[in-house]
Amino acid sequence: MFLCGMFEHLCLMFVCLWSGIWRGGFAWDKSFLQFNWHPVLMVMSLVMLYGNAMVLYRVPLKWSRWWCKLTHAGLLFVAVLLSVLGVHAAFHTANNIPHLYVLHSWTGTSTVALFTLQVQYTLTSLMMTDMSQYLHCFTLGVLLVI
């Protein structure tokens, strides 16, 4: 677990250095520098936070199940917010490249949309305690397929 955490922080550090130094820095003023936030926010959300949220149940922690669920939901919620902000940074820049022109745009948009739907579905269905056992098992099956 320590080695994975070290590599994910190293990955984020390299992406920050690449965007900050070699690509000219960061800005949030709809200039071409706003796009530099896109790789940083995507690595932070989809690699670091989403990866840690997935691994949370596999690591033997001495936490109660409630704290694991709460931390898992919190990590996923912050990951969704950062990934949506990363997509916003990519689509609202001043470069004259048409949007949804390459396959990366389509796969990225569909990934963030499915990820957002998955988190929304989980928060609305699994957090309800009055759900029947059959519906709860069905919901878990749907989440495993997604």
Q: The domain that contains 124 carries what CATH number?
A: 1.20.120.1770
Overall average pLDDT of the 108-116 stretch: 92
Q: Domain range spanning residue 63?
A: 2-145
The answer to whether residue 17 scores a pLDDT higher than 80 is yes
Exposed / middle / buried, residue 96 (Cβ in 10 Å: 0-12, 13-18, 19+): exposed
Overall average pLDDT of the 27-47 stretch: 90
pLDDT digits (tens, 9 = 90+) for 18-36: 999 998 889 888 788 888 9
Q: Which residues contact 70 (CB under 8 A, 6 or more apart)?
A: none
Closest CA to 86 of 25, 34, 49: 34
- Total tally of structural domains belonging to the chain: 1
pLDDT-derived band of residue 140, with 50, 70 and 90 as boundaries?
A: confident
Q: What is the pTM of this model?
A: 0.81
Hunting for tokens 């969704």 — which residue is that? 80
